[in-house]
Amino acid sequence: MRTGQKLPMKQRLKALLMSPKVLGLLLVINAVGTLYGYIWYIDQLMITPPQFLIFVPDSPTASLFFCIVLFLWLLNRRSGLIEALAAVTLIKYGIWAVVMNAGAGFAGDELNWQNYMLIVSHGAMAVQALLYLPFYHIRRWHLTVAAVWTVHNDMIDYMYNVYPWVSPYLLDGIHHIGYFTFWLSLLSIGLIYVLHVRRQPVDVPS
C-alpha cells in the first residue's frame, strides 16, 4: 500500500476494535457491568443452595468471561475456551434479558428505568460478542465445552428452579421460558459455529 493511502474501512474498523484504548475502555465498562450484575443477584444467591450458586448469575458470568478475554488480549495472550464461553453466553443471555424485560412489558408489567437500562446493556452484550467474532480463535473442542456448560446451565436452572428471577407477570409461563431458553442456547451455539468455527482450519493448534 502506498504511503499515505488510507486503509480500507473494514481494516480500519478491525484496527480500532483491537486498539488498546478501545479494549481497555470495554474492559472497564464490562467490569462495572459484571460487578453490578453480581450485586443484582445477591438476594437470589442468598437463598440458593450452595451447589447451584455458580449457575445462578448468568449475565454477569457471561460478561466476566468477556472481561477475561479482553484482559488477555491486552496482554497479547488468548484462551480459545474462554472466548467460546464468552461468545456463546454473551449472545444467549444478552438476547434472553432483552426478551424477558420486553416480554414483561407486553404482559402488562410496568417497566421502569432499570428495565430499559437492562434492555440496552444486555443488547450491547450480544452486539459486542458479534463485533469481536472475527478476532476469536475458537476451535471445535472449545465450542463443545462451551455448549455443554451452556445447556447444562439451562437444565440446572429449570429443573431445580434456580433460573434468574423474572417478572411476576411471566411466572405462569415459566415452562415456556425454559423451552425458549434451551433453544436460544442452541441458536447461540449454532451462530458461533456457522459464523466462525466451521471456517477455522481444523488442524491449527489451540
pLDDT at residue 7 in the model: 65
148-154 long-range contacts, CB within 8 A, separation 24+: 149/85, 150/88, 150/89, 150/92, 150/185, 150/188, 150/189, 151/182, 151/185, 151/186, 153/55, 153/58, 154/178, 154/181, 154/182, 154/185
Q: Tens-of-pLDDT digits for all 206 residues of the chain? A: 454 556 677 788 888 889 999 999 999 999 999 999 999 999 999 999 999 999 999 999 999 999 999 999 999 999 999 999 999 999 999 999 999 999 999 999 999 999 999 999 999 999 999 999 999 999 999 999 999 999 999 999 999 999 999 999 999 999 999 999 999 999 999 999 999 998 776 544 44
User: Which of 102, 121, 129, 101 lies closest to 187 in space, CA to CA?
Assistant: 129
Other Cβ atoms closer than 10 A to 124: 16
pTM: 0.90
Cell of 9: 474501512
pLDDT at residue 8 in the model: 76
pLDDT at residue 206 in the model: 44
pLDDT at residue 202 in the model: 58
pLDDT at residue 14 in the model: 84
Q: What are the domain boundaries of the chain?
A: 12-42+50-199
